[in-house]
Amino acid sequence: MKRTILFFLVLFLMASSYAQSISTNKRRLIDDWQFLRQDLGGVWEALREAKPGRPTTVPLWEDVTLPHCFNAQDAVAPDVNYYQGPGWYRSSIEIKNPYKNGRTLLQFEGAGQKTDVYIGFSNAGSHVGGYDEWTIDITDLVDSVRQNVLLSQLFNGKVPLTIRCDNSRDLQMIPSDLSDFNVYGGLYRYVNLVYVPEIFIQQVYLKPGISANGKRGSIQINGLLGNHTEKNVPLTATLFDEKNEFVQTVSFLSEGNKFEKSVELGKVRPWSPDRPNLYRIEIELNINGDKQNYTDHFGFREFKFEEQGPFYLNGDRLLLRGTHRHEDHSGVAAAQTEESIREELQLIKDMGVNFIRLAHYQQSRIVLNLCDSLGILVWEEIPWCRGGLGGEVYKEQARSMLENMISQHFNHPSVIIWGLGNENDWPGDQPDFDKLAIQGFMSELNDIAHSLDPSRKTAIRRCDFCKDIVDVYSPSIWAGWYRGKYTEYLSVSREQMEQVGHFLHVEWGASSHAGRHSENPDVGLESVKTGTGADEKAGDASLYGGAARVSKDGDWTETYACNLFDWTLKEQEKMPWLTGTAAWVFKDFSTPVRPENPIPYMNQKGVVERDLTPKESYYVFQSYWTTKPMVHIYGHSWPIRWGEKGQSRLVKVYSNCKEVELFLNGVSLGKKKRDSQDFPAASLHWNVEFREGKNELKAVSTSKGQMAEDSIQLEYQTEKWGEPAILELKEVAIDDQYSWLEAKAFDKNHVLCLDARARVTFSVSGDAVLVENMGTPTGSRVVELSNGVAKIKIRKENERYSAAVKSEGLKTAVISRAE
């Protein structure tokens, strides 16, 4: 009984910013929005009549659809700071609540970063925090708008909805603006209009249980009703199994606004990454004919982290094969649609991922639902990231975001870890950096998390003076990038594992400029010291100064990144004590703190580009982590290789098949058996003599009766080149509307400089525009060359335009088109 009382006290705490209410009467407010990227003098400026020719038509609003982000373009604009300030949205909505005395709610799945909501002239509510969900009851304000003659006339009976978002810099908010990601503004997740009865299901918490022998299951249902009542309300819960087949129905009464029901089940099938068995629950509330249906899913699973040992799921060891995800995408920034998120998560799963750290903030429920259904275990965290520790306002936001994250994502079987912070050893936002205060607040957050959810673990990454507070700790290990060489990975990891109870390595990898390759990726790295650790220290992320390191002195090729991933993955296969890892990061993403990168303001550590185009490294992971037969020859984005005539060149094939045969220009170069400990490419590498000019490579394997094959065409250049002396620009038409502009760097003898990586700037004038600010190598006005080449797309209205490309020390190249 005491446990039940305590749990309900926790429910009341967690329901302070509820947004979990799932109703059949819900619709997304996507269309008919306008946006203004500046502040207003007050909400009346968004409401007043604006007839053509009158001063009230300014400022000018633009038509948008939701989700929408302030920074869809300027987050990666090369020569401006991204916008941080207020912005306004306005729409008018038709309200038709089907319930007698029903409540009308606005549900926000996330909005950045401070938000004020207005119905008519009145403030309906406010929220601080850009990543947790929240709900506002607008019922009474809707009634007042309908009684307002002026507003009824202006909006023809619809209800005016105006929203102010603000992502201004604020040292008393999390996340810090020192973070290696943009603190976006806008309605970048869905806004929902929800109708519920007068008394409604507000929150439901599902606690599945499974017997020790795994043969029987149970489900504990706890919840709250909205619009407080002293009456006992009848509820019916219907359960369905993983095949969507009926299991049983139970009926029960609430006790005032709380309800609780325990249901015993027969044999259940556990949830796992290989078999993500999801059970479904439907809870119906029926009062005087007003029905509300709540639907959710859950799964049965048990896990444990062995002391200084591996991770176990449902009694079996599972090596966590992970990645990270930021909420960021080409052309839209944080404003991804459900379809876009689904495409991304499927691509993650297809790489063989069974674990993901959602960096560095609570993410959309859509993401969590996909992790549940695809079978991806989750570490989700609050955005206490860098900068130190602020005052009480700062700390209260962190507490609130932790409580809301746990409350809102409590039912997801994929979640195993609640993250409390990231890089909290990084000072800068406050005059004083108080380690004791940070330790004290970390302990407080740890206690909150365990009181709200004792079934899951807590974790942080990179803050050694707090590593003993949480259940699971990840130190900083960047062997081969920020410090040391990748051949040190195993020894450094073992040393770090022995210092904590539960070691889980998240964040490792290398940056790579997509399309840049090298015949000798390790040249120039002899001066990188070993034996001094592999942690990222202050200044290591900079491209200037300090000790020799690959991140500063390397060439950022896909070739080097693949070698680092390949070596590290082979080492992880022989670490029996390893819980798992999460490579940083799945997709290139924008950041305000890296203006000097090959694509300005982009973190380029992804294995796919910002638009989800896979880099070569994607297939390295696939070759280690997947079972569906696959073969991939390294170099799909490497059209020209180089060397001496008759010189052997390394060809790598990434495959999970037992044996692969390689062909050069139709002639077999032999078969090789896969051996994961034979570096590189798990023994699937050949020394090949290309002929000058065009060549074709083909790799074939037959595994389990399925054939997997891959082929590429390339040219082999034997001409040597000197320093870049000539910049050329040409147009390659795509269709009537689009063309590619292609820039190339040649030496004085007009030989293509295949190692050139100078920064170039494209421009266009006339009846064409650049397709820019995409954060990709082919969607950036300012970008470094990849093997002497850079491209960008233009959109043409007709054939009357001029284009140019320039680079420091070279003559600007210009082309003109005229009808």
Which of 109, 380, 403, 423 is labelled catalytic?
Answer: 423
CA 513 to chain centre: 19
Any residues with CB less than 8 A from the CB of 172 and at least 6 apart, and which? Answer: 390, 391, 393, 394
Judge contact between 378 and 457, C-beta under 8 A: no
Any residues with CB less than 8 A from the CB of 153 and at least 6 apart, and which? Answer: none
d(C-alpha 805, C-alpha 758), whole Å = 12
Structure tokens at 467: 């590593």
Structure tokens at 672: 């090789």
d(C-alpha 264, C-alpha 217), whole Å = 6
Identify which of 356, 366, 357 has the alpha carbon closest to the alpha carbon of residue 334.
Answer: 366
Strand 217-226 to strand 258-264: parallel, antiparallel, or no bridges (unpaired)? antiparallel
Any residues with CB less than 8 A from the CB of 21 and at least 6 apart, and which? Answer: 105, 107, 135, 194, 196, 200, 201, 202, 203, 226, 294
R_g (Cα) of the chain, nearest Å: 28
d(C-alpha 74, C-alpha 76), whole Å = 5
From start to end of 301-362, where are the E strands? 303-305, 311-313, 316-317, 320-325, 355-358
Identify which of 404, 361, 403, 399 has the alpha carbon closest to the alpha carbon of residue 379.
Answer: 361
Number of Cβ within 10 Å of residue 456's Cβ equals 20
Strand 472-474 to strand 457-461: parallel, antiparallel, or no bridges (unpaired)? parallel
Any residues with CB less than 8 A from the CB of 489 and at least 6 apart, and which? Answer: 477, 479, 480, 508, 534, 567, 568, 571
Number of Cβ within 10 Å of residue 16's Cβ equals 11
Give the length of the chain: 819
Beta bridge partners of 698: 663, 711
Q: Output the furthest CA–CA distance in the chain (Å, rounded).
A: 89
| Whether residue 536 lies in the annotated active site | no
Strand 589-590 to strand 86-93: parallel, antiparallel, or no bridges (unpaired)? unpaired
Query: Crossing angle of helices 392-408/435-452, nearest 10°?
Result: 30
Structure tokens at 798: 């007709």
d(C-alpha 320, C-alpha 273), whole Å = 10
d(C-alpha 610, C-alpha 590), whole Å = 8
Report the run of H or E that residue 732 belongs to, with start and end: strand 726-733
SS3 for 317? strand
Burial 85-113 (b: 16+ CB within 10 A, else e): ebbbbbbbbebebebeebbbbbbbbbbbb
Dihedral sign (CA 348, 27, 246, 285) = positive
d(C-alpha 394, C-alpha 385), whole Å = 12
As a dihedral over the C-alpha atoms of residue 144, residue 150, residue 151, residue 157, rounded to 10 degrees, the angle is 90
Residues serving a catalytic function are 423
